[in-house]
């Protein structure tokens, strides 16, 4: 690894239903997929979710002979809290202190807090406040994952959240890079809608997908999901002053369901696509064998994480 000219990264998606890994190697500046695999989680509750994730990760690494030790990972979205916080530039408190103060109202233990944020409102002259999008989780939970990685001889270089990983993926696959893109990620039991602009997440809202069965969605279920997305779009129009989504991309389970695509297309009058995450790589870059839809779409977060480190 030191001298063979290859930069290898293992992207780990700690999903709510499974652990998915994608090993990407960079050779002469060109990323190549060296390996990809997934391992379903054992049954359990939310309290032992990290242990189940790490057990599944150990299993998938040993089963597939993956030797890459440099890891980038995405925390499970069920463990993440996201808020849009308004930062008052007139206050004496720093933005971090203002964010902590705000999060105290929505998290049980303000001391056990790990968060990151970025600005989402466009800069204005003489502004007295601006909006930031905050993602937060329990610091002890992050520590549990990091310690688990160390036990597996893995070195975690970056710990992110799934919407940001997908933002990196969309930045390489969108057909209209100047317009914001709406994206829907579906997984068993949960999903999220995010608005992404120029590789940055502007808004993100999780919603319940437990009503959508594996075989497909019924009209009432689609209506419920559409309402959630509609609220997000309304928030975007109200808070950001625009309704200029270029297209809507769907990833994850049931993303290829024609009923879902047609419903979203008719309701929001947008171009709806369900691309394969592996399309972000150049032709022939998938050296580990072809992976086709619908399995490929489940790797959207892992591929996005890998692309983040290549950006």
Partner 1 sequence: MAELIPLHYRARLAVRQRVRLWTIGGALVVALCAATLVVAGVWTHAAATEAARLRGDFVQQSSLIQRSEELQRRRQELADRMKKIEGLRDDKTLLALLRNVAGGFADFDSLEYIHINVRGPRPTDAAAVAAAATDSDTSHFVVRMSGITTNTSSLADLMTRIGKARDPALQVKLESSKRENYLDGQVTRFQMTCEKPGTTGS
Nearer to partner 1, 37 or 73 (CB): 73
Nearer to partner 1, 154 or 217 (CB): 154
232, 195 contact by CB (below 8 A): yes
Stretch that binds partner 1, among 59-67, 139-147, 226-234, 258-266 (CB under 8 A): 139-147
Regarding 142 and contact with partner 1 (CB under 8 A), the answer is yes
Tokens of 126: 């003489």
Closest CA relative to residue 236, chosen from 259, 266, 268, 208: 268
What string marks each residue from 151 to 180 as x (binds partner 1 by CB under 8 A) or -?
----xxxxxxx--xx-xx------------
Regarding 139 and contact with partner 1 (CB under 8 A), the answer is yes
Nearer to partner 1, 167 or 302 (CB): 167
Stretch that binds partner 1, among 30-38, 133-141, 227-235, 265-273 (CB under 8 A): 133-141
Among 18, 58, 146, 270, binds partner 1 (CB under 8 A): 146
Nearer to partner 1, 137 or 297 (CB): 137
Regarding 111 and contact with partner 1 (CB under 8 A), the answer is no
Nearer to partner 1, 68 or 308 (CB): 308
Residues found near partner 1 in the complex (CB under 8 A): 2, 75, 114-116, 118, 135, 137, 139, 142-143, 146, 155-161, 164-165, 167-168, 308
């Amino acid at each position: 690894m030191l001298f063979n000219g290859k930069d290898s990264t293992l992207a780990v998606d700690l999903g709510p239903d499974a652990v998915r890994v994608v090993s990407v190697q960079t050779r002469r500046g060109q990323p190549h997929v060296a390996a990809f695999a997934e391992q379903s989680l054992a049954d359990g509750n939310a309290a032992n979710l990290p242990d189940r994730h790490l057990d599944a990760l150990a299993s998938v690494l040993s089963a597939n002979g993956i030797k890459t030790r440099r890891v980038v990972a995405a925390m499970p979205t069920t463990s993440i809290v996201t808020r849009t916080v308004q930062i008052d530039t007139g206050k004496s408190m720093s933005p971090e202190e203002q964010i902590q103060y705000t999060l105290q109202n929505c998290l049980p233990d303000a001391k056990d807090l790990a968060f990151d944020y970025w600005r989402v409102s466009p800069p204005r002259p003489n502004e007295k406040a601006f909006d930031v999008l905050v993602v937060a989780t329990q610091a002890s939970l992050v520590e549990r994952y990091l310690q688990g990685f160390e036990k597996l001889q893995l070195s975690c270089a970056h710990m992110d959240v799934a919407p940001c990983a997908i933002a990196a993926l969309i930045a390489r696959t969108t057909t209209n890079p100047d317009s914001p893109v709406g994206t829907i990620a579906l997984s068993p039991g949960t999903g999220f809608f995010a608005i992404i602009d120029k590789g940055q997440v502007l808004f993100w809202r999780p919603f319940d997908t437990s009503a959508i069965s594996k075989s497909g969605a019924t009209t009432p279920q689609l209506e419920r999901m559409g309402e959630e997305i509609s609220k997000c779009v309304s928030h975007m129009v109200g808070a950001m002053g625009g309704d200029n989504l270029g297209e809507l991309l769907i990833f994850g389970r049931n993303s290829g369901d024609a009923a879902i695509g047609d419903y979203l297309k008719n309701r929001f009058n947008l171009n709806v696509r369900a691309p394969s995450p592996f399309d972000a790589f150049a032709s022939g870059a998938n050296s580990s064998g072809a992976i086709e839809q619908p399995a490929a779409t489940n790797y959207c977060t892992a591929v996005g994480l890998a692309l983040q480190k290549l950006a």
